Structure 1
């Protein structure tokens, strides 16, 4: 037995109805118009979601000149492919962080504190107390092996070069450091 849930739009109600049909059959499809907004805008994500639910997807196109029905995918068990590169990057970021600095539900782009920014903050805090300093001396003092690289790249514009190999905290760095220190959670 094959069950097809046919609707004019794809929404959570349709997905719930289709999943409920698994009590009757292992072959459940959802069918939506090709012109459905969500299908046009989020085709790739939609296909993944429907496959993950174990559903089949049928696209129906009814135009004056031609009409057709296309089976996009058949129902089957879904086993997602792992992206090893992204997985490794995520674990590296997670393991590099100190504490949990993300407030739940935050949407502000400054709400999250990356591991990179945490490391830059530690260097800026050191320079606030002991300026000017070299990357090697910062590395020795706060155990930051890439201190020299942080100073040289100066990604946030927080560091000023005093002379070759010596840096101090810029005015921008001093101003932004105060804001970021309030968001930082340190774990000893």
Structure 2
């Protein structure tokens, strides 16, 4: 299958004045134009191994590309993340259409500044910082996917839930806000994201069975939250 990549890419660079050959000192494609040298590593799909190979080729030539078939969804997060890595490494990306053999340069072999990417993702960076600051317990374990995360929203919801339980399992949202120290208690109970609250009447809620189960499940978290509660009221 790499042969289907080799010929179109070879023709593409020959059309730009390069002399091209394959399998030179372990490089899938080696080319020269005057004093300028370049290499292309060919792979049907983008993976760590081809990134590694391409990075090692940078020791031998001026510029390096990875050649692959056109990704099915160029705008997917997975593809965009891989292109980001290549840009940070200063490795170019060439895509070949399986149907037509058309060659397209997706990104040039130029190192992209980290600061440029940070500027593009400033809002997300600020959101991460704000979420970190809001969290009181900071007890999540990284790399765990099946365990329920303790986000700042869940922390607030647990405080409100515990407050409502202290009020006898049913009470006014205003009172739950006072006891819990969470200003947005009424919003949390009304949205009922976790299914912990049942709306009884205007401004009045009660704890559901799921809510009592949550108090047992997150008993230690609730204890820490109440101990270190940073009230919003």
TM interval, shorter chain, is 0.7 to 0.9
Q: Does 1:8 align with 2:40?
A: no
Q: Does 1:115 align with 2:139?
A: no
Change (3 A) 1:68 1:160: closer
TM-score, with normalisation over the residues of structure 1? 0.79
2:56 to 11, 20, 43: 20
Runs of 5+ unmatched residues, structure 2: 1-35, 229-233
1:72 matched residue in structure 2: 106
TM-score, with normalisation over the residues of structure 2? 0.66
3-state DSSP class of the match of 2:72? helix
Deviations 1:40-86 (A, max 9, x none): 354333322211211111224466xx544332221112132432332
Displacement of 1:159: 1.9
3-state DSSP class of the match of 2:40? strand
Structure 1 residue ranges, 4+ long, deviating more than 4 angstroms after superposition:
182-185
Q: Does 1:125 align with 2:162?
A: yes
* 1-structure distance, mates of 2:123, 2:222: 28
Displacement of 1:105: 2.6
* 1-structure distance, mates of 2:106, 2:91: 11
Cα RMSD (Å) = 2.6
Q: Greater Rg, structure 1 or structure 2?
A: 2
- Equivalent residues in 2 for 1:71-150 (5 A)? 71-79=105-113, 80=117, 81-108=119-146, 110-131=147-168, 132-150=170-188
1:176 to 188, 192, 214: 214
Aligned residue-pair number? 181
Residues 28 and 56 of structure 1 are in contact (CA less than 8 Å); yes or no, is this contact kept in structure 2? yes
- Equivalent residues in 2 for 1:153-168 (5 A)? 153-168=191-206
